[in-house]
Amino acid sequence: MADPLDYLRGFAVTFKKLFEDRVTGDYRGGKAKQGAPDEKRPKPERFHGRHVLNRYEDGMEKCIGCELCAGVCPAKCIYVRGADNDPDDPTSPGERFGYVYEINYLRCIHCDLCVEACPTQAITESKLFEFSFTNRNDAIYTKNELVVGDDGMPQKMPWEDWREGEDQLTSGWMRATSPAGDHRYEGTVHWAGELGYGVRAPEVGQSSPLAVRADDGGSGAEAPSDSNEDSHE
C-alpha cells in the first residue's frame, strides 16, 4: 500500500514546475512576424541534417561518381551517375565525376552511412533539418542544389530555414573512426581541405592532420585519393 501522502507530493511537484524555466524555446520555423521571438536550439556537433556536396579549396568537386553512397544507402534515396572528366576542363581532380547526383528527402533517414562510405569526403551532412518542402519535386535535391557555392557555403533553397551562422562548417565533423576507409588513419584526422575553409581542425582525442601528412608525405588535396588506392589494393 502506497503512502497516501505520496499523492500530495505529486501535486507539489507539478506545482513547483510552474515556476521553473521552460525547456522549450519560442520556435516558429522562420515564419515569425517582425519583432516576434523565434529561437532555434543549438544543435549538436555531429547533427545529421540536409546533405551538402563539398568542393576542394581550388573549387574542384570532391565527388568522383563512384556510387558507393548510393550502394550503401539503406533507404535507396540516393541516385548517382558518374561520367568521365573533360581533360581540358575537369570537374573533379580524378578521372571521373558525378554528373547526376540526386537525394530524395522523402526517403532519406539521415543515417549518415553515405557520409561514412564516401571515399573523398564529398558528401557530408549539414545541421539543417528545417526544410519542409511542399511538393515532391522540391523533395528531390539535385546536384545543383546540393553542391556548395563558390564561397564554400551551402546553397539555400527558398523553403529552407537557415539562420545566421548555420551555413558555417556544414561539411560536418569526421564521423568514421577510419575516414576514407584506411586503417592507418584510425583516430587521426584525415580531412581534405575544402572550399572556403581549408583543412578542418582535429576533434578532441584526434591527432593533428599535419602530423599524418608528414608520415604519409602527401598533400592535403591528394591525400584522399592516395589512401583510397591503398585500401583498394
Partner 1 sequence: MILGLDPLYGGDFLGDLGVTLLKVVVAFVFLLISVMLMVWFERKLISDMQNRIGPSIAGPWGILQTLADGIKLFFKEDLVPDNADRFAFKLAPYLSLVPAFLVFSVVPLGGDFNGSDGDGVVTLFGHDTFLQVADPPMGILFFLAMSSIAIYGVMLAGWGSGSKYPLLGSVRASAQMVSYEAALGLAIAAVVLQTGSLSTHDMVIDQAAPGFSLGSFGIPNWNIIVTGFVPFVVFLIAGTAELNRPPFDLVEAEQELVGGFHTEYSSIRFALFFLAEFMNTITMSAVIVTLFLGGPAGPALFLPEGWWIGTIWFFLKLFIFLFMFVWFRATLPRFRYDQLMDLGWKLLIPLSLAWFLMLAGLRVGDAEDWGTAKTYGFVLGFMAFCGLMATLLMAAINSARSERLAAMEDSHG
Q: Closer to partner 1 at the Cβ: 5 or 23?
A: 23
Establish if 18 lies at the interface with partner 1 (CB under 8 A): yes
Cell numbers representing residue 82 in the block = 558518374
Question: Strands, E, within 32-171: which ranges?
Answer: 51-53, 78-84, 96-104, 123-125, 140-141
34 lies in the binding site for partner 1 (CB under 8 A): no
Cα 105 to Cα 189: distance, rounded to the nearest angstrom: 30
Position among 3, 23, 164, 232 found at the interface with partner 1 (CB under 8 A): 23
Interface with partner 1 includes 20 (CB under 8 A)? yes
Alpha-carbon distance 61 to 90, whole Å?
A: 9
The three-class DSSP label of residue 66 is coil
Stretch that binds partner 1, among 13-21, 93-101, 173-181, 186-194 (CB under 8 A): 13-21
Among 11, 204, 215, 233, binds partner 1 (CB under 8 A): 11
Exactly one of 1, 2, 5, 13 binds partner 1 (CB under 8 A); which one?
13
Cα(207)–Cα(186) distance, rounded to whole angstroms?
10
- Kindly list the residues in this chain that would bind partner 1 in the complex (CB under 8 A): 7, 10-11, 13-15, 17-18, 20-26, 28
